Structures are given as C-alpha cells and as structure tokens.
Structure 1
Amino acid sequence: MSDQQKRLREIIVCALFVAITGILAQVSIPVPPVPFTGQTLAVGLTATIIGSRLGTFSMIGYMALGAVGVPVFSSFSAGLQTIVGQTGGFIIGFIPAAFIIGFILERTKFSIPMAIIANVIGMFVTLGFGVIQLKYVADLSWAAAFAGGVTPFIPLGLVKAVLAAWIGIIVRKRLIAANALPVTKRKRIENSEIGIS
C-alpha cells in the first residue's frame, strides 16, 4: 500500500470516528450546568480502537467541525461560543484524553484491563479540563465547580470507561484481523493483539 493510500485510509478512519462522536453526543441528559452525554464514551472508544495519533486527530476534527458550525456537539449545538462557554472545557479535554488513553495502551498492551485503566485516567483528564473552564467561565467557587462538573459524572464515567474498554478492544481486534485498521506497529505485536502466535 502506498503512502498516499495509507493517508487516505487514516483520513477515512478519523472521519468515521468524528461521525461516531457526533452521533453519541446526541445521547444527552440535560442536567445543568453540565449535561450527561455519550461524548466521553465516544472518546474512549476512539482512542482504544485507533490509538493516540489517530484518536487525537479525530478529536481535533470533531472540535473543529463543531467550531465552524456543524451541529455535532450535544443537543445539536455548535459554534465557538460552545467551546468557550461553560461546558467547552470538556470538549477541549477530549483531545488530551484521547492522546493519553491511546498512549497508555500503546506503551503497555491493548487488553481490556489496561484499557479500563487508560479510560479511567482519560475520564479524569476530561473532567479536569472541564472543571477548570466551568469554574472561571461560570464564576464559581472550586467547590461549586467540582459539585457541578465532576462529582455527578464519576459513577457514570466509570461505567463508560469499562464499556469503552470492553467494546473498544473487541472491535480493535476484529478490525486488525480483517486488515481494516491502519496499524503501524511491528507485525508480531499486531499478531499478539489478535491472538496469533
């Protein structure tokens, strides 16, 4: 496969995960000041399946698409005002979260236990970015920002981390087995991921 074909495949994969994130973002429970959404599940799935580099590009693409007005954020919202608003820090946090989840898995092993650990860490990264922006944009105390932007999301966030890890590793293995995922690691590492000796 030529370099141009590889780049095209990577672009298609990233576009697919941007679309998945936009779809899951519409699974939303509007609880002020920060709604419960499926976005963080999408971030975990993306990074677990396609790794740090493509996962990061996918989240950058997702944020850029929303910033220019395509309604991919929760409740079909869009625009720069969403990114700089009270909940925008969470969207910004998707980018480092995707990188960190993928990075941890690439440096350890693409297994469900490691993916759970990586996704839990990624969840706290997203919440960290979100609570900082929520605190300053909404002019809240740190206690109020944590109460509104962190504490309510931890139980469901842990469930989503487990789901993202479990589903993500299964999907990743199947895509690699079908040669449908652009993986750049050495062949023996790829084979070990799908159980080929």
Structure 2
Amino acid sequence: MQSGKLRAIILSSIFAAITAILAQVQFQTFIVPFSAQTLAVGLTATILGSRLGGLSLICYMLLGAIGLPVFSGFSGGPQVIAGPTGGFIIGFIFTAFITGWILEKTKFTIPWAIVANIVGMVITLAFGVVQLKYVADLSWSAAMATGVTPFIAFGIIKALLASWIGIIVRRRLTKAQLIPTVSNEKAA
C-alpha cells in the first residue's frame, strides 16, 4: 500500500475515533442531546478537508451502525441511525464534505473556516430536523423547537472553536508534511 493511502486511512481513523470520544462529552435533553460530537465534525472537516473528512465520518457512522458504542451516550447500532437523532449522524458526512470543500475552494483561513463551519452546522441541523420530524412524528415547529433552536448558540460557539483550533492544527500538520496542502494554501 502506498504511504499516502495508508496515511489517509490512518488520519480518517484517528478523526473517527476523536469524534467517538467527543460524542461522549454530552448532556441529555428531551430527545436530542447536546454533545461535542459536532465540534469533532467541524475539526475533522477543517483539518482534513472534504474527501478525508467525509471518509472519516463515514467510518464513524459505520462503526456505530455495526453496534460499537461510538454515538452519544455510548450508544450504537442501526436503530440509532434509524431513530430520531439518526439524521444528525447522517448529516455529519455531508457536513464534513461540504465544510472541507468550501475551504478547498476558498482559503484555509480562520474567517473562511468560520463561514464553512456555520454552513456545516446548518447542514447537520437540516438533516437532523427532517429525520426527527418524521421518526418522532412531530410537527415542523415542534421538530425545529426540539432539534434546531436549542442548538444554534452552542453550534455557533462550536463552529468558532472548530475553525480556530482546526486551522491552527491544519497549519502544523501541513508544515510537518503529515497532510497534503491544496492549491489555495501553502505550508506555513
């Protein structure tokens, strides 16, 4: 196996593990828990970019789908993905890809990372609220009140943290040549 492919697999695995760990930093609310899981998704996308970030979150979801307790509250299994909060987990994949893609098409800077991570937050919430509405049999307003409104302020804070920490870590990893640079960035 080429060293670049092996490095990509290792990085994706590390960030899937980081997401699983941060998913356990949580407190339960009515249906949808507050967790640091979305912070991990933002960090993953900001540091790894679209392709590896998306791959990392696919790995994370698959680990949980086969029953490993990687989701919030040490839960796992296909019933979690099919349940009321499963839309958020599915949305993580699209969030990571789009957030990374925005940074690859613009610049890997903190301001652009903030924009990309806020767009990512909206994507996660959109996927989550749609599944929450149908699985929990809620009205749109109840689904929004349960799955979106309580998370906006914390989501913005996590987007800011993911942007700031993510860009700093990405710069250090590119300088150490542990992740490749893209055409719009130079190794610091």
Q: What's the TM-score bracket when you normalise by the shorter of the two chains?
A: over 0.9
1:84 to 2:77 alignment: no
How much does 1:180 deviate?
1.5
> Is 1:153 the equivalent of 2:151?
yes
**Alignment TM-score, normalising by the size of structure 2:** 0.97
Residue 176 of structure 1 contacts residue 190 of structure 1 at CA under 8 Å; is this kept in 2? no
1:34 match: 32
How far apart are 1:184 and its partner, in Å?
Answer: 5.5
Where does residue 143 of structure 1 map in the other structure?
Answer: 141
Extract unaligned runs of 5+ from structure 1: none
Cα deviation per residue 1:165-187 (whole Å; 9 max; x = unaligned)? 00000000001111112x1635x
1:62-109 CA-partner distances (Å, limit 9, x unpaired): 000000011100010000000000000000000000001000000000
Question: What is the match of residue 51 of structure 1?
Answer: 49
Partner of 1:104: 102
Task: Decide which of 59, 62, 69 is 1:61's aligned counterpart.
Answer: 59
Structure 2 SS opposite 1:78 = coil
3-state SS in 1 of match to 2:107: coil
Give 3-state SS (helix, strand or coil) of 1:139's partner: coil
Please state whether the residue corresponding to 1:93 is helix, strand or coil: helix
2:173 aligned with 1:185, yes or no? no
Deviation of the 1:4 alpha carbon: 1.3
Q: CA deviation at 1:190?
A: 4.2
* 1:157-176 map, 5 Å: 157-176=155-174
Within 1, Cα distance between the matches of 2:168 and 2:9? 22
Q: 1:156 is aligned with what amino acid?
A: F
CA distance in 1, matches of 2:64, 2:181: 29
Residue type at the aligned position of 2:159: A
d(CA) in 1 for partners of 2:43 and 2:30? 25
Give every structure 1 segment of 4 or more consecutive aligned residues whose post-TM-superposition deviation is greater than 4 Å: none
Q: How much does 1:156 deviate? A: 0.3
Letter in 2 for 1:14: S
Displacement, 1:5?
1.2
The 1-side partners of 2:54 and 2:178 are apart by 19
Determine which of 110, 113, 119 is the counterpart of 2:111. 113
Distance in 2 between residues matched to 1:190 and 1:69, nearest whole Å = 39
Question: Which of residues 107, 113, 120 in structure 2 aligns to 1:122?
Answer: 120
**1:142 aligned partner, one-letter code:** W
RMSD over aligned Cα atoms: 1.1
Letter in 2 for 1:185: V
